[in-house]
Structure 1
Amino acid sequence: MGKPVLVTAALPYANGSIHLGHMLEAIQTDVYVRARKLAGDDCVFIWADDTHGTPIELRARREGITPEQLIARAYDEHVRDYSTFGIGYDIFHTTHSEEVRSHAYAIFAAMKERGDIASRPVEQFYCPVDTMFLPDRFVRGTCPVCKSLDQYGDSCEVCGSTYAPTELGDPHCSICGTTPELRSSEHLFVPLARHAEFLREWLAEGHGTALQSSVRNHVMEWVEGGLRDWDISRDPPYFGFEIPGHPGKFFYVWFDAPIGYIGATQKYCTEHGRDFDAYWRDPSRSKSEIVHVIGKDIVYFHCLFWPAMLHTAGYTTPSRVHVHGWLTVGGEKMSKTRGTFILASTFAEHVQPEYLRYYFAAKLGATQEDIDLNLTDFVLRCDADLVKKAANLASRCCKFVSARLGGHLSAVPDDARALVDAAAARLAEAP
């Protein structure tokens, strides 16, 4: 058996329910992990809920509950939905945990000691109607790079660029629609350009980091184009970890969210007697393999910010980052107004989840092309590949038994009895 393998999927946000877009990545990761385990690898699927940020704080206020109650409810819903679809993770933790807090503080302290934390005032959008500084995701406007409309204040879902909220065209508060005003606030930054040489080495083909060539080339373009300072602090109202030594400032969600991978590993190792250091305290990557499965919209965070943080603090950097496309429904991006937004729980009420697992698995590939859920194709493919082929196999077996064995079979082995009984029960339930 080779070195241990740690696999993660992107953390679902605790501000909403699981939809089929989430399930696409979960199924892809689950298929990969099961294959590694069947191949004899010591492989674990480490996962968690992403629980911090202003959206959590504000939604809890609207519902008259605490953020802790909100994320606890979301956790239970997420566990239920992933279990319904047979996702076989080894642990599903939360970023609002002492494990994550401890490692976030340790990484921040290491970066500060190396001179990787700078403080300076920034002009920030403030909504005079809601009387609050607006976090990135509460400002919408036109992308300054590709000019796509209605984009978030930190990154564009169309071209993948990152930027400051103040660079948006026609900015407006996503809560009330008001045009925000600029006010000054002291923030903490990581001068990411200082890590350019390390990132070039980490990204270089042959260095040991497995990336799809298109992803590698795209990220390298960002590095060669000049890396901006990364703002890692946020103002209240904010649910999260307060930054040590900086009262009233909180870690930006993209600082502590990926640390959820580390915190969940710590929890798993404590509960199962495993060696945590073999996974995350191995800068040479000689003892373990770390694999991230993510969507194409969060490449910047996982292939620039994240490895730089880990390298600075002496943690293991990822061995592989696999990037997939988005899920479309009927050729369109999922949308509530267009009726193409499907919750996992809603789908499971009407269709056996195993069919979707097969359909998604059959469509997975090595590119970042979007994967379309065409319901007509879904029915035809499941009928042809699963129902008809299974029936054909049964028919051929019956003919073989009748022709060659006189219609007689041996007794069912003891170790197969449970499987046969389960199959009989499922057949009895079939319409």
Structure 2
Amino acid sequence: MLHDPKRYTVTAALPYTNGPIHIGHLAGVYVPSDIYSRFLRLQGKDVAFICGSDEHGVAISMKAKKEGITPQEVIDKYHAIIKQSFADFGISFDNYSRTSAKIHHDTASEFFKKLYDKGDFIEEVTEQLYDAEAGQFLADRFVIGTCPKCGNDEAYGDQCERCGSTLNATDLINPRSAISGSKPVIKETKHWFLPLDRYDAFLREWILEGHKNDWKPNVYGQVRSW
């Protein structure tokens, strides 16, 4: 009989299936979480150590376009490589899945529909960069341009990796599409937003009081700034 019937759910960052994992991935998240899961199991705890391949990242689409293959071919290839790498290193996941699985789609849809039916979303029309040549809107990583803060000519639409500044794609000077290389235009598009200010009191208590002493200083500082 378990001394503590409470289940511990442990997870780690889901690796993008646009390339193999490397030693930095293992050292940063998977080995520490595996150690913690093993520690709990040795204490007789009920542990579910869960992870999976993230197959919905923009980097995957970019990899597919660069290699001239389909996104499905990219994710199938690297999901198999990543899963085998974890097995070879002895990472003891109780369940390693993938975000293309039906249960993931169904569960994510259920979350979205529940929030939508409750009226928790705000619908707004915003302006987004559009590649007329490729015929699609451009996610942040599909836009490259000059950082307005440091002048880096290869800044992405979400972040400049030279100075570390967080950016919006429309902030970039002389933006260009990473798909076609053409200059994008601005078009209107509708999005759903979850207004976190409605949950300000809960978030402040949970972050400022609940995790001040057990989160890394840089993580705590970043979340607090939001």
Which of 190, 194, 199 lines up with 2:198 in the alignment?
194
Q: What's 1:428 paired with?
A: none
Structure 2: distance between partners of 1:200 and 1:142? 35
Identity %: 39
Is 1:119 aligned to residue 151 of structure 2? no
- Give the TM-score normalised by structure 2: 0.81
Q: Counterpart in 2 of 1:4?
A: 7
Q: Show the 5 A alignment for 1:173-322.
A: 173-206=177-210, 210-222=214-226
1:18 aligned to which of 16, 21, 26 = 21
SS at match of 1:204: helix
Please state if 1:109 is matched with 2:113.
yes
Which has a greater percent of helix?
A: 1
Shift of 1:172: 2.3
Structure 1 residues 220 and 115: CA distance shift in structure 2, 3 A: same
Quote the offset at 1:61 in angstroms.
6.0
Return the alpha-carbon distance in structure 2 between the equivalents of residues 81 and 40 of structure 1: 27
Return closer, same or farther for 1:160/1:32 CA change in 2, 3 Å cut-off.
farther
| Superimposed CA distance per residue, residues 140-160 of structure 1 (whole angstroms, 9 cap, x where no aligned partner) | 23556x647333323455777
1:49, distance to aligned residue in structure 2 (A): 0.4
What is the rounded CA distance, in whole Å, between the counterparts of 1:103 and 1:156 in structure 2?
Answer: 34
Q: Is the 8 A contact 1:136 1:152 kept in 2?
A: yes
- 1:171 deviates by 2.3
Aligned match of 2:54 in 50, 55, 59?
A: 50
Which residue identity does 1:8 align to in structure 2?
A: T
RCO (CA 8 Å, sep 6+): is it higher in 1 or 2? 1
- Tell me if structure 2 keeps the 8 A contact 1:203–1:209: no
Matched, 1:29 2:25: no
Determine if contact 1:201/1:207 at 8 Å carries over to the other structure. no
- Structure with higher Rg: it is 1
Give the equivalent residue in structure 1 for 2:101. Answer: 97
Q: CA deviation at 1:68?
A: 3.5
Q: In structure 1, what is the Cα distance between the partners aligned to 2:221 and 2:60?
A: 35
Matched residue, 1:133: 137
Secondary structure (helix, strand or coil) at the match of 1:100 reads helix
Gaps of 5+ in 2: none
Q: In structure 2, how many angstroms separate the alpha carbons of the residues matched to 1:87 and 1:109? A: 34
Cα RMSD of the aligned pairs, angstroms, is: 2.9
Distance (Å, rounded) in 1 between the aligned partners of 2:222 and 2:163: 11
Q: Which amino acid in the other structure matches residue 122 of structure 1? A: T
Aligned length: 221
Partner residue in 1 for 2:156: 152
* SS of residue paired to 1:87: coil
Retained in 1: the 8 A contact 2:141–2:157? yes
- Which residue identity does 2:105 align to in structure 1? R
Q: Is the 8 A contact 2:141 2:156 kept in 1?
A: yes
Residue 115 of structure 2 aligns to a residue in which SS? Answer: helix
Q: What secondary structure, in the 3-state scheme, does the structure 2 residue paired with 1:82 have?
A: helix
CA shift, 1:34, in A, is 1.9
